[in-house]
Amino acid sequence: MNTETSPPPKQTVLIAEDEKALAKAIAATLDLEGLETIIAYDGEQALALARAMQPDMILLDIMMPGRSGIEVCATLKTDPETCDIPVVFVTAKGEKMDRKIGIAAGAVEYLTKPFSPTELIALVKEVLTGQLVEPHFSGDDISAIPADQLEVFALEWRDLYEREREERRSLELAQKRLSELDRLKAGFLSAVTHELMTPFASIGIALQVLQRQREDLSTDVQNVVDDLSTEIEQLHRLVNGVVKFAELVNKRREPQPSYVSLHAIIPDAVQPASIMAQARQIDFQISVPEQLSKVYVDPELLGEAVFQMAHNAVKFNAPGGKVQIHALEVKGWLTIEISDTGVGLTPERLELLGQPFEQDADTLRRGREGLGVGWAFVRYVAKVHGGRTQVQSPGPNQGSIFRLALPVVAGWHEINAGQETDLTE
C-alpha cells in the first residue's frame, strides 16, 4: 500500500509594488521561506491578478500607477470572492491618519518602509498562519478622524462600490453572451465536422476494393490509384486536424497526458510529411536524440501538432528545398524546432499567424490551399500543456523556423496550463 502523500501546496503572496527592485527583493525573501510569489507593478494589474489567482495574502503599496492601493484594497473588500484575502499595506506613508484610512479600507496591517527582512517575514507568517486576529493598530479608533474627512472617504467608497457593481454587471452580461456564442459555435462545429468525416468511411471501402484488384490494373491506373490514396489520406488528416482543433477550442477533449519520449513520437508523427517531401524532392532531416528527458503530454495531441508543423514546412517549400526537424533540451524545456527553406513570411503575416482560418492570398493562388488551422492548432496544444511557441522568418522566400517548447516537469498538476507565451531566446 502506497502511504506517500503529496506535499501541501505552497501559499501564494501577491506583491503589488511599482518599485521593481524592491518588489523583486521582497519576492526573493519570501521565496526563500518556501512561499510562491506573484508581482504586479500597477494597481490595475494587481486587481486583475488578485481576482484571477485568489492569493493567500496581498502586500500592497499605496502609491501605485493605475489605481492606488487604497482603491485596490477597497475594491477587493467589496467583492465576495476576494473580501477574505488579507491585505497588508507596504508604504512609506506611515502617519497615523494614513494608517487609520488604510485599516478602514480593509487592510489588516501596515508595513512602513524601510523595513528589515526579519520584520517582513515575521509579519507575513503571522498573517498566513491566521494569528493576526485584530489589526496591529494602536491609538484612537476611526471616530477620531475629522467628520469632513470621513464624509469624503464615505463618498469615495460609495462611488467606488457603485462603479465596481456596474462593472460586475457588465462583465456578467458579457459572459452570458460569450457563453451563448460558444454554445452556437460548438453546435456548428459538431455538425460540420460530422458531415466532413462521414464520407471517408465509404471512400475507404472503395479504395480497399481498388487496392485488392491493383495487380489486374494497368501501370497508369495503378499510379492513379496510389496518387488517389495519398491525396485522400492527406485530406482525411486535414479534416481530422480540424476536428481536433474544434474539440480543443470548445474544451470537449481533455488532454490525456503521460510520460513520453520525443524520440518515440516525432519520427512516427512526421512520417506522412516525410513521404510527401520525398515525392517533391525535398531534403527531409530528423534529429531527435534518445537521451532527451521525457515530457508529460498527451501523445496524440503532440504528435498531431508536430505533424502540422512538418506538413506546413514541406507544403510551403519548393522542390529541391530542405526541411530540418531538431529536438533539444535547454534549462528545463524541450524544444521541437522545424526549419525550412520555403516561402518565408512577411512581418504582416507573422502577426496574423496563429489566427484560425487565416491564409496568404499568394499561396492560395499557387493552389496550396489550407484551412489555416495548422499553427493555430500547435499553439493550442502548447497552451494546454503549459508550453511556448515561436516563429521566425527573415522575410519572403528566405524560409522559416517554427518552435514548440514544452516544460520538463514532475507531473501534470504542476503545469501552469493556459499560460502559453512566445519563446524568448
Domains 12-145 and 168-253 share a fold: no
Residues in the chain: 425
The arrangement of secondary structure in 255-422, i.e. its CATH architecture, is 2-Layer Sandwich (3.30)
Q: The cell 497508369 sits on which residue?
A: 220
Number of Cβ within a 10 Å radius of residue 378? 29
> Cα separation of 174 and 104, whole Å?
33
Question: Domain-by-domain residue ranges, the chain?
Answer: 12-145, 168-253, 255-422
Predicted TM-score (pTM) above 0.85: no
Q: For domain 168-253, give its CATH number from 1.10.287, 1.25.40, 1.10.3470, 3.55.50.
A: 1.10.287
The answer to whether the CB of 135 falls within 8 A of the CB of 109 is yes
Per-position pLDDT tens, the chain of length 425: 455 555 667 889 999 988 888 888 888 888 888 888 999 988 888 988 988 889 999 998 888 887 888 888 888 888 888 888 999 888 776 666 667 777 777 888 888 877 777 888 888 888 888 754 444 444 444 455 555 655 555 565 566 656 767 777 888 888 888 878 777 776 776 676 667 777 777 777 777 777 777 777 788 877 887 777 777 776 776 676 666 666 665 555 677 888 999 999 999 999 888 988 888 899 999 999 988 998 899 998 899 889 889 988 998 898 899 999 999 998 889 999 999 998 888 887 777 665 544 444 333 333 334 445 678 788 888 888 889 999 999 888 889 999 999 998 644 334 444 444 445 43
Decide yes or no: CATH 3.40.50.2300 for domain 12-145.
yes
